[in-house]
Amino acid sequence: MDELVTTDKPAPQAAEMRPYSAAELKAAVLAKLTYAVGKAPEVASRRDWFLAVTFATRDIAVGRWLESLNAVYGDGRKRVYYLSLEFLIGRLLFDAMTNLGIAQPMEEALDQLGVNLSDLRRIEPDAALGNGGLGRLAACFMDSMATLSIAAHGYGIRYDNGLFRQIIRGGWQQETPEDWLVNGNPWEFVRPEYNYAIGFGGWVEMIQGDDERAHHVWHPAETVEAVAYDTPIVGWRGRHVNTLRLWSARATDPLKLEAFNAGDYVGAFSEAVRAEAISKVLYPSDATPAGQELRLRQEYFFASASLLDLIRRHIKQWGDVRTLGQHSAVQLNDTHPAIGIAELMRILVDLNKVEWDEAWSIAQAVFSYTNHTLLPEALETWAVPLMERVLPRHMQIIYLINAAHLDSARRRGFVDQGLLASISMIDEHAGRRVRMGNLAFIGSHKINGVSALHTDLMRKTVFHGLNTVYPGRITNKTNGITFRRWLIECNPKLADIIRAVLGERGLDDYGALKGLAAHADDPALHEQVAAAHKSCKAALARTIADQVNQRVDLDAMFDVQVKRIHEYKRQLLNIIETVARYNAIRANPTIDFAPRVKIFAGKAAASYTQAKLIIKLAIDVAKVVNSDPTVRGLLKVVFLPNYNVSLAEIIMPAADLSEQISTAGMEASGTGNMKMALNGALTVGTLDGANVEMRDLVGDDNIFIFGLTAAEVEASRAQGIDSTERIAASPILREALDEIGSGVFSTDDATRYRGLVDTLTHHDYFMVCADFDAYWATQIKIDATWRDRKRWMRSSILNTANVGWFSSDRTISEYAKEIWNAPFAPIS
């Protein structure tokens, strides 16, 4: 989008947004309906109106976009490039209108036209550009970079079908394509003039140059075109607008005409199908060699196109690629774009004839890397033969980087062979694989974790050796969320309460939310917040009724665990407690259990059999519990399918209890915990990820912490992970597991969960049984706290007041100051 700038003069910062009246917006919508959609109001469908409103909103955003880009070119500020395989941006219409300050007058304008804005919001599909927390974080960061007027581009892939649409058939997860682009995307601008040839395979030729240096020329066997699609990302109050540029793969020769004319109609399109597969699906299964190759092709495709694009932009403005490190910062969101380090070296050395040592200095100045996992198996590695076949020149470059890195370590006295093996980019013990985490670490000037605990554990575990060799390179940047979106757009009544108590500053400045704490004991505020929360619960109840045909009690505690389904996130612990609660309610009718609605949602990876079994168990338990009259309304269990941003926007503000119960030491951060606490939910969780900082912020009395610490988990595993004795010593746990394993919840297949129970009994790696008794006791404590409504409401308000620190504005300002050295303008 920055290529549209035409002014030759330095441009000033974009002026403040002017207000738009309902009359102006009404005229704009009608003009778009007529001239962009081609419909008269009398015959326009709801989708026609949605497009008209979107185009009218987009026009305002584009005006700010051009002003922002003029300002960036005018003052020459440093640019930030955020490379991420996921951007879970969700629906954009209401987000853009809110940030542009036109949501209210637009609603008035549409009322005059007899159109309901809420209905139009539901027409927009979720952009299927991500999976979970990593992708939603990238979207939050893009929002905050625009809010803080950082000159930023996001780079990723424009997936035709995203991850998958989750449907439930017979209680089992089924994956179907997410066809979010079937009717087009009104937010994007295709930029066919900016496309790049991305090579794969082939061979490398060494040529003796006139300067008597050896030069390497890569001759790819296959070339795929990367075509740019731009989406404007509007910051708060429209102060600044940045660009999200996504790449779509296109074959250089979309049709083999000779084959087509010979009657081979399928073969004629084979090259196009192979090329376009790169941007079809997020995270194709890597269970097969072909799947592994496709993942590598995806990662290189978008990293290469992004680097070629940003270097083109840099040379256009600054003329010399050697100044790239002064004017550009590239953030690698996890290891997916790490191949970009080798690609930048290829671009600098092979294409721009920069000396190797200077090129390496430029690369390290440019790159920084965010790590999102402590699981060694989740740090990407690629088989050396695959890399040599798909990216032969890059494999040469990686060998050279690794040799220089190990030689440097030896010269500085690090000669222990075990240490050198651990810091090498080549893992020699697993069939020779390239460690992309090590490449990202070595090629970056800063490496950050995403919570205080995670960063500390990074230094001690997955990057212990590299941290020893490069002390001080690891830093912490605790994740954050776009707190305005999760209040104003998801919980408008609570946002209005905050405005009434704190003024507009309460939504401008995340730090100002603390002022709400002074009113935490105000009974009138308790009533207002409770009423606002009940309206959110009513909206979620309607969704539950629509999706799974269950009626839920709005006065019950909405106990929520929504996130990717994974064993370490321990949905299984929650389900077992649900079974134990079900047993206790039936066996002990005199116990004063708080009525609860247990709400689960999340997708299991397509090839993750155990996670799919956990979903099935949740649904089987729900079927039994929800049909048993002896429960007397004290327990309801719900699994909502196809969890995405739009569903999260309904669930998060309705939560009373937020389940953040991962095995301590395994969750990097978590951001769902932040969103629910911001909306007043109390958290039950382990001392894992950002829960540690959340406890420090909200206070021990306003959060429910249980279970083993990260150090205790490590010590317990060292002693063995057989839980036979633990189960024998816990009658409540033993009864729940016996029922699950014997088929009480699976009468159609009594053996369905026997293997799952055997794993928990003899291989309890994720400490489900080890933490169960503490979890059960904490849940009983939560029941008692729920019945003390004054105490619960006080804690709820204190959660909202104190978690403003988890704003992505704060996180991004820390990145800008301490990693990118990029200018930013705080909200004043």
Nearest of 571, 577, 565, 567 to residue 737 by alpha carbon: 577
Question: Dihedral sign, CA of 825, 826, 827, 828?
Answer: negative
Nearest of 724, 749, 748 to residue 737 by alpha carbon: 724
- Asked whether the beta carbons of 109 and 60 are under 8 A apart, the reply is no
Q: Which residue has the tokens 């804690």?
A: 795
Give 267's pLDDT tier (boundaries 50, 70, 90): confident
Is 493 part of the annotated catalytic residue set? no
> Which stretch of DSSP H or E encloses residue 222?
strand 222-234
Checking 708-712 for CB contacts under 8 A at 24+ apart, the result is: 708/664, 708/767, 708/770, 708/771, 709/664, 709/665, 710/453, 710/457, 710/664, 710/665, 711/665, 712/664
Nearest of 494, 476, 473 to residue 485 by alpha carbon: 494
Supply the pLDDT for residue 1: 53
Q: Cα-Cα-Cα-Cα dihedral of 705, 709, 713, 714, to 10°?
A: 170
Checking 31-38 for CB contacts under 8 A at 24+ apart, the result is: 31/56, 32/56, 32/59
Helices (H) and strands (E) in the chain, counts: 33, 22
Token representation of residue 30: 């009608």
Supply the pLDDT for residue 542: 98
Percentage helix, strand, coil, to 5, in the chain? 55, 15, 30
Q: Is the pLDDT of residue 2 over 60?
A: no
3 state SS of 555: coil
Q: Which residue has the tokens 């496709």?
A: 294
| Helix/strand/coil (H/E/C) assignment for every residue in 644-700 | CHHHHHHHHHHCCEEEECCCCCCCCCCCHHHHHHHCCCEEEECCCCCHHHHHHHHCH
Report field, pTM of the whole predicted structure over 0.85: yes
Nearest of 56, 66, 71, 64 to residue 25 by alpha carbon: 56
Is 551 part of the annotated catalytic residue set? no
Cβ burial of 352 (10 Å; 0-12, 13-18, 19+) is middle
What contacts 822, CB < 8 A, 6 or more positions away? 77, 78, 79, 80, 150, 151, 329, 816
Supply the pLDDT for residue 374: 86
Give 255's pLDDT tier (boundaries 50, 70, 90): confident
- Tell me the β-bridge partners of 328: 79
**CA–CA separation, 175 vs 138, rounded Å?**
24
- Asked whether the beta carbons of 396 and 216 are under 8 A apart, the reply is yes
**CA–CA separation, 401 vs 341, rounded Å?**
10
Instruction: Give one DSSP letter per residue of 166-183, joined into a string.
Output: EEEETTEEEEE---TTTT
Supply the pLDDT for residue 221: 96
781: number of Cβ within 10 Å: 13
- Asked whether the beta carbons of 347 and 388 are under 8 A apart, the reply is no
From edge to edge, which strands make up the β-sheet containing 433-435? 381-383, 433-435, 426-427
What contacts 260, CB < 8 A, 6 or more positions away? 268
Q: Is the pLDDT of residue 3 over 80?
A: no
Catalytic member of 91, 327, 473, 675: 675
Q: Once rounded to an integer, what is the mean pLDDT over residues 542-559? A: 97
From edge to edge, which strands make up the β-sheet containing 367-370? 189-200, 222-234, 241-251, 151-157, 79-83, 328-333, 367-370, 447-449, 474-476
3 state SS of 382: strand
Q: Which residue has the tokens 């102060």?
A: 239
- Asked whether the beta carbons of 678 and 806 are under 8 A apart, the reply is yes
Supply the pLDDT for residue 9: 36
pLDDT in tens, 589-632: 878 899 999 999 999 999 999 999 999 999 999 999 999 999 99
What contacts 812, CB < 8 A, 6 or more positions away? 141, 144, 145, 148, 150, 480, 824
Cα–Cα distances in angstroms (integers) from residue 226 to residues 171, 179, 315, 632, in the given order:
40, 21, 20, 59
**CA–CA separation, 299 vs 277, rounded Å?**
13
**CA–CA separation, 29 vs 617, rounded Å?**
48
Supply the pLDDT for residue 266: 84
- Asked whether the beta carbons of 396 and 410 are under 8 A apart, the reply is no
Give 287's pLDDT tier (boundaries 50, 70, 90): confident
pLDDT in tens, 637-692: 999 999 999 999 999 999 999 999 999 999 999 999 999 999 999 999 999 999 99
Catalytic member of 54, 243, 381, 671: 671
What contacts 3, CB < 8 A, 6 or more positions away? 191, 193, 194
Catalytic member of 26, 446, 563, 752: 563
Q: Is the pLDDT of residue 286 over 90?
A: no
Question: Across all residues in the chain, what is the average pLDDT?
Answer: 95
**CA–CA separation, 753 vs 539, rounded Å?**
34
**CA–CA separation, 687 vs 224, rounded Å?**
46
3 state SS of 214: strand
Cβ burial of 371 (10 Å; 0-12, 13-18, 19+) is buried
Is 564 part of the annotated catalytic residue set? yes
Q: Is the pLDDT of residue 11 over 50?
A: no
Phi-psi region of 692 (alpha: psi -120 to 50; beta: other; left: phi over 0): alpha
Catalytic member of 372, 435, 485, 726: 372
- Side-chain-facing half-sphere of 759: CA atoms under 13 Å: 14
Helical ranges in 124-269 per DSSP H: 133-147, 257-261
**CA–CA separation, 233 vs 655, rounded Å?**
28
Catalytic member of 564, 566, 598, 603: 564
Q: Once rounded to an integer, what is the mean pLDDT over residues 781-808? A: 97
Supply the pLDDT for residue 15: 59
What contacts 111, CB < 8 A, 6 or more positions away? none
> Which stretch of DSSP H or E encloses residue 534?
helix 523-548
pLDDT in tens, 441-499: 999 999 999 999 999 999 999 999 999 999 999 999 999 999 999 999 999 999 999 99
Nearest of 307, 375, 292, 384 to residue 338 by alpha carbon: 307
* 596-601 and 557-562 beta bridge pairing: parallel
Catalytic member of 280, 346, 569, 598: 569
Is 761 part of the annotated catalytic residue set? no
pLDDT in tens, 742-784: 999 999 999 999 999 999 999 999 999 999 999 999 999 999 9
Q: Is the pLDDT of residue 438 over 90?
A: yes
Token representation of residue 26: 């009404």
